[in-house]
């Protein structure tokens, strides 16, 4: 037998040995697996669930009754004192403001003096009584009695220049002549009124000149 033939036979034998080993391992695994399955199945059948009831614990013995103890009154409870907390007074903040700045004011020029007042003297009332009387004014009773005489009166002249008052200060001795004299002066006399120093018209009092009553003949 040649060397090549020996080597071929040796290789075939090795391959056969490997295949036999693989088959043995496969059979062994199958057997082991099947046996384990049967064992587990049987064990599962044998195991049956059942409820386990726990035994209740024995009842506790009641504690022995307490011995008679002397009744002690509870201590008096004193309510806590009412404490009034006074809130602290907030501090007073005094803010001192700076004094206001007053800009200097230029003094105003002095007012011009008022114009000098025009001083005028008081002016008395002016007028004439000479043209007031005529022969037709002679009282008939005095003419019949032949009475004659001179009369002087004091008259008051108002601001409008009219005579507002007449008093006989010198009588003619005949009442008709005296009364006629005042009546004519009141009705007919018209004066320029008197004025004070300011130029305002004012009342004035004057004495008339002597008025002579005389019959013609």
Please write the tens of the pLDDT for every residue from 71-102: 666 666 666 555 455 555 666 555 455 565 66
CATH number belonging to domain 130-213 = 3.30.2420.10
Check residues 31 and 20 and name the one with the higher pLDDT.
Answer: 20
Check residues 150 and 108 and name the one with the higher pLDDT.
Answer: 150
Across the chain, mean pLDDT equals 76
Count of CB atoms situated within 10 Å of the CB of 213: 22
* pTM for the predicted model, two decimal places: 0.45
Does the pLDDT value for residue 6 go beyond 80? no
Does the pLDDT value for residue 61 go beyond 60? yes
Annotated domain spans of the chain: 1-43, 130-213
User: Can you give the pLDDT at residue 48?
Assistant: 47
Query: Which parts of the chain fold into alpha helices (H)?
Result: 3-46, 140-145, 175-188
CB neighbour list of residue 170: distance below 8 Å, 6 or more residues apart: 150, 151, 152, 153, 210
52 pLDDT tier (thresholds 50, 70, 90): very low
173 pLDDT tier (thresholds 50, 70, 90): very high
């Amino acid at each position: 037998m040649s060397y090549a033939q020996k080597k071929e036979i040796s290789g075939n034998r090795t391959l056969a040995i490997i295949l036999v080993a693989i088959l043995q391992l496969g059979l062994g695994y199958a057997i082991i697996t099947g046996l384990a399955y049967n064992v587990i199945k049987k064990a599962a059948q044998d195991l049956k669930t059942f409820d386990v009831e726990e035994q209740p614990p024995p009842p506790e013995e009641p504690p022995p009754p307490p011995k008679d103890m002397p009744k002690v009154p509870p201590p008096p409870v004193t309510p806590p004192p009412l404490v009034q907390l006074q809130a602290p007074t907030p501090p007073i903040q005094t803010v001192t403001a700076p004094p206001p700045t007053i800009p200097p004011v230029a003094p105003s020029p002095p007012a011009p003096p008022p114009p000098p007042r025009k001083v005028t003297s008081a002016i008395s009332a002016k007028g004439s009584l000479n043209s007031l009387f005529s022969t037709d004014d002679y009282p008939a009773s005095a003419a019949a009695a032949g009475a004659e005489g001179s009369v002087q009166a004091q008259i008051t002249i108002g601001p409008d220049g009219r005579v507002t008052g007449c008093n006989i200060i010198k009588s003619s001795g005949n009442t008709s002549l005296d009364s006629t004299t005042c009546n004519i002066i009141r009705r007919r006399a018209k004066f320029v009124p008197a004025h004070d120093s300011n130029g305002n018209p004012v009342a004035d009092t004057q004495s008339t000149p002597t008025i002579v009553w005389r019959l013609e003949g």
